């Protein structure tokens, strides 16, 4: 009887606090449909969303408050791998500096820039946000240097290549699955902006088998990732905004850590002399060339200038033998190799006291989200674990597993004050 009374009170509370009236539902539905009707002919509609497990897409009466791609956003930001981006390197590792970008800030900047363009072009803003916020969920610690290190070790072991864009899909689909739409996964997979173009046309991806084929091509063909084209215009917007988000901001960060001088920071470019001007002018040019089109385009001169500025960054920033990069090659790469083989040995031997079990495979978000995860190959499980680590976690784990050869934060990081 007590249980019946409790259930009755809960039902009363639900009806009193969480149930909308028909007038309220009609208002929300009308507003939603009006927004959908204003979308471009070339935008992706919510009803076009394709799910691998449609039965797990809750029919909870929230389809006008939380439509498909908005639900994707919710699932991404509540996934543990999204949160870890706050403490992963964007470009400059091993610097104690609160003013340089971390991976988590970068994805927000991509999302903000892409939403502005998408709104002007009447594209689906929720899909843009989902792709942008999820695009680096699988990135490694220590930025692209860490990605290259991990790929080298993985390739030695398996003959396959690690790519952060592919791993972002794997992290959100296999490691800690959150049942995103095909369009969101495809946009995440195809976001890499190493090669930029004057115009971005879409490339079909009709189902999850096609997505698997694209992912596999990146595992076996080195450099394939940078030539992928998204299947939606929303994905194309995120791809170009990934470039815009880092092009000028990386120069700001380089100035903060002393890699370039103030005089070197300001660009001699018709796109603008600093980060904000560069983003604003490039954004306006993209909008100007893309309104009412089935592609995302910019003037060839703008695309060429973006390519030139990327080459300038590569020469003056990314390839600069600065203190952090020198330490990455001298210290972090050997540490990653030792960690990889230690964790693999623990996994092969079934040492359940090892962090590969206690901190990764048996973590709540793993065991509850994917009970079949233990059937994955051991190399892939080790790669999943290392890629998921933040910079500091990686260093702390190394010290735990190799106490006779610790690399302290003092040894590795440039301090705040020196």
Instruction: Write the CATH number for 262.
Output: 1.10.3210.10
Are 311 and 349 found together in one domain?
no
Q: Is 414 helix (H, G, I), strand (E, B) or coil?
A: strand
Arithmetic mean of pLDDT over the chain: 92
pLDDT above 80 (res 365) = no
Are 259 and 310 found together in one domain?
yes
List Cα–Cα distances, 294 to 110, 121, 354, in angstroms.
21, 11, 52
pLDDT above 80 (res 43) = yes
Are 387 and 307 found together in one domain?
no
Q: Establish if 24 belongs to a structural domain.
A: no
Are 353 and 371 found together in one domain?
yes
Higher pLDDT pick, 341 / 17: 341
Phi (first) and psi of residue 253, to 5 degrees: -65, -40
Are 361 and 284 found together in one domain?
no
Task: Please report the pLDDT score of residue 61 as a whole number.
Answer: 59
**pTM for the full model?**
0.95
Task: Please report the pLDDT score of residue 2 as a whole number.
Answer: 63
Residue among 37, 39, 35, 36 nearest 292 (CA): 39
- The rounded percent of the chain whose pLDDT value lies above 70 is 96
Average pLDDT over residues 96-121: 96
pLDDT above 60 (res 1) = no
List Cα–Cα distances, 166 to 129, 147, 275, 413, in angstroms.
18, 12, 29, 30
Q: Establish if 226 belongs to a structural domain.
A: yes
Q: Establish if 18 belongs to a structural domain.
A: no
CB under 8 Å to 359, separation ≥6 — which residues? 385
Contact 199, 229 (CB under 8 A): no
pLDDT band of residue 342 (cuts 50, 70, 90) is very high
pLDDT above 80 (res 119) = yes
Contact 329, 148 (CB under 8 A): no
Instruction: Write down the residue that tokens 């039902």 correspond to.
Output: 11
The last residue of one of the domains, among 278, 302, 321, is 321
Q: Establish if 39 belongs to a structural domain.
A: no
pLDDT above 70 (res 3) = yes
Q: What is the pLDDT of residues 261-315, one digit of tens each?
A: 999 999 999 999 999 999 999 999 999 999 999 999 999 999 999 999 999 999 8
Average pLDDT over residues 329-341: 95
Are 152 and 225 found together in one domain?
yes
Residue among 64, 67, 85 nearest 127 (CA): 67
Q: What is the pLDDT of residues 124-174, one digit of tens each?
A: 999 999 999 999 999 999 999 999 999 999 999 999 999 999 999 999 999
Give me the half-sphere count of Cα atoms (radius 13 Å) on the Cβ side of residue 246.
27
Task: Please report the pLDDT score of residue 329 as a whole number.
Answer: 87
Task: Please report the pLDDT score of residue 370 as a whole number.
Answer: 85
Are 239 and 377 found together in one domain?
no
Are 313 and 175 found together in one domain?
yes
> Which of 55-59, 71-75, 216-220, 381-385 shows the lowest mean pLDDT across its residues?
55-59
Rounded-to-integer distance, Cα 252 and Cα 246, Å: 10
pLDDT above 70 (res 118) = yes
Rounded-to-integer distance, Cα 239 and Cα 187, Å: 8
Are 114 and 247 found together in one domain?
yes
pLDDT above 60 (res 323) = no
Q: What is the pLDDT of residues 182-194, one digit of tens each?
A: 999 999 999 996 6
The last residue of one of the domains, among 289, 321, 353, is 321
pLDDT above 90 (res 418) = no
Higher pLDDT pick, 16 / 123: 123
Task: Please report the pLDDT score of residue 322 as a whole number.
Answer: 52
Are 146 and 186 found together in one domain?
yes
Are 173 and 232 found together in one domain?
yes
pLDDT above 80 (res 338) = yes
List the Cα angle 89/93/94 in 5-degree steps.
130
Are 295 and 406 found together in one domain?
no
Structural domain harbouring 372: 325-412
Q: Is 187 helix (H, G, I), strand (E, B) or coil?
A: helix
The last residue of one of the domains, among 269, 298, 321, is 321
> Which of 29-43, 47-61, 199-213, 291-305 shows the lowest mean pLDDT across its residues?
47-61
pLDDT band of residue 245 (cuts 50, 70, 90) is very high
Rounded-to-integer distance, Cα 129 and Cα 77, Å: 11
pLDDT band of residue 363 (cuts 50, 70, 90) is confident
| Packed helices 275-290 and 103-120: angle between N→C axes, nearest 10 degrees | 40
Residue among 286, 312, 281 nearest 298 (CA): 286
Q: What is the count of structural domains for the chain?
A: 2
């Amino acid at each position: 009887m007590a249980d019946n009374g409790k259930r009755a009170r809960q039902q009363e509370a639900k009806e009193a606090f969480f149930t909308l009236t028909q007038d309220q539902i009609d208002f929300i539905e009308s507003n939603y449909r009006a927004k959908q009707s204003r979308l471009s002919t070339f935008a992706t509609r919510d009803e076009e969303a394709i799910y691998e497990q449609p039965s797990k897409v809750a029919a909870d009466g929230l389809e006008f408050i939380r439509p498909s791609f908005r639900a994707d956003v919710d699932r991404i930001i509540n996934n543990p791998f999204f949160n870890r981006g706050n403490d992963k390197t964007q470009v400059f590792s091993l610097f104690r500096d609160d003013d340089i970008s971390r991976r988590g800030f970068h994805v927000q900047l991509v999302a903000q820039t892409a939403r502005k363009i998408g709104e002007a072009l009447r594209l689906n803003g929720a899909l843009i946000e989902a792709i942008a916020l999820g695009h680096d969920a699988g990135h490694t610690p220590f930025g692209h240097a860490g990605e290259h290190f991990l790929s080298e070790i993985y390739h030695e072991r398996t003959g396959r290549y690690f790519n952060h864009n592919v791993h972002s899909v794997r992290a959100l689909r296999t490691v800690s699955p959150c049942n995103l739409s095909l369009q969101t996964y495809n946009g995440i997979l195809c976001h890499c902006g190493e090669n930029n173009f004057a115009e971005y046309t879409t490339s079909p991806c009709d189902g999850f088998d096609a997505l698997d084929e694209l992912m596999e091509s990146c595992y076996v063909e080195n450099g394939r990732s940078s030539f992928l084209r998204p299947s939606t215009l929303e994905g194309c917007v995120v791809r170009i905004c990934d470039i815009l988000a880092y092009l000028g901001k990386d120069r700001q960060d380089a100035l903060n850590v002393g890699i370039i001088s103030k005089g070197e920071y300001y660009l001699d470019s018709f796109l603008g002399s600093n980060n904000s001007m560069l983003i604003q002018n490039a954004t306006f040019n993209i909008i100007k060339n893309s309104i009412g089109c089935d592609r995302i385009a910019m003037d060839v001169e703008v695309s060429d200038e973006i390519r030139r500025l990327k080459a300038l960054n590569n020469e003056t920033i990314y390839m600069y033998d600065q203190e952090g990069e020198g330490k990455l090659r001298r210290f972090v790469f050997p540490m990653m190799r030792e960690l990889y083989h230690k964790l693999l040995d623990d996994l092969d031997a079934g040492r359940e006291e090892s962090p590969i079990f206690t901190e990764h495979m048996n973590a709540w978000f793993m065991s509850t989200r994917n009970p079949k995860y233990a059937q994955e190959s051991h190399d892939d499980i080790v790669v999943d674990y290392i890629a998921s680590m933040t910079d500091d976690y990686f260093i702390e784990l190394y010290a735990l597993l190799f106490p006779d050869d610790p690399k302290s934060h003092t040894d590795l990081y440039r301090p705040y004050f020196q």
